[in-house]
Amino acid sequence: MLHLTKGRYRVRVAADPDDVARAQRLRHLCFRGDEGGRDVDAFDPVCAHVLVETRTTGSLVACFRLLPLAGGREIGRSYAAQFYELSALEAFDGPMLELGRFCIHPEVHDPDVLRVAWGAITEYVDRAGVELLFGCASFAGTDWAVHGDALAMLKARHLGPARWLPRIKAPDVVRFAQRLRRRPDAKKAMLAMPPLLRTYLMMGGWVSDHAVVDRDMGTLHVFTGVEIGRIPPARKRLLRAVAA
């Protein structure tokens, strides 16, 4: 289904329950901040779990999961649909892919990890003919004011098109597109933007006009979509070069 070896790293789909458990332990470390537990939810059995490992030792440095959908009529099966009212996207006529639970080991700071992960995702998207890649991109913490510049930048430049825009469903949200009146400091905003979200935006991705406050995970997240046909050609070439 998905396999890529590049430089120091290899990317592969979990082969058995032990692989899935490794990913769940890394997720727990990244999302909960301690070792020993497992981050498990009801979507794990229906997703493909992807591992990014070092080639020499097999150490797990990153992981994520993928949920392919035949089209917008299946959007209600997604993880994101728990938090966002996505009926507008039911009209999207094309294969979709939800990218979720993306995390990198907190002791790993090599940018090649993110690069090779996106190379593998690109390979999958091209092979499966995916037309919309989407997910929930998270900010650490639940105080939205801490992320004021980043959210102001999202409002100013990256809100989704009206025809696809998610509506409010979660009980605790921040309507940043309505509340923020400030002009963003572009440098501060991009430095504060989570790496996964920054990559989405570089591909021409768009976000919801509100953030969901997830107190269980201790995060704020925005719905993020990337229409594959709208990715800038230069960015596509870079991604495919990694996937080659």
The predicted-structure confidence for 154-185, as pLDDT tens digits, reads as follows 999 999 999 999 999 999 999 999 999 888 98
Name the DSSP letter for residue 97: E
Structural domain count, the chain: 1
Q: Give the domain extent around 86.
A: 3-243
The predicted-structure confidence for 98-143, as pLDDT tens digits, reads as follows 999 999 999 999 999 999 999 999 999 999 999 999 999 999 999 9
CATH number, domain of 213, equals 3.40.630.30
The DSSP line for 151-212 is HHHHHHH-BPPTTTPPEE-SSSEE-HHHH--SPP-HHHHHHHS-HHHHHHHHTT-EE-SSEE
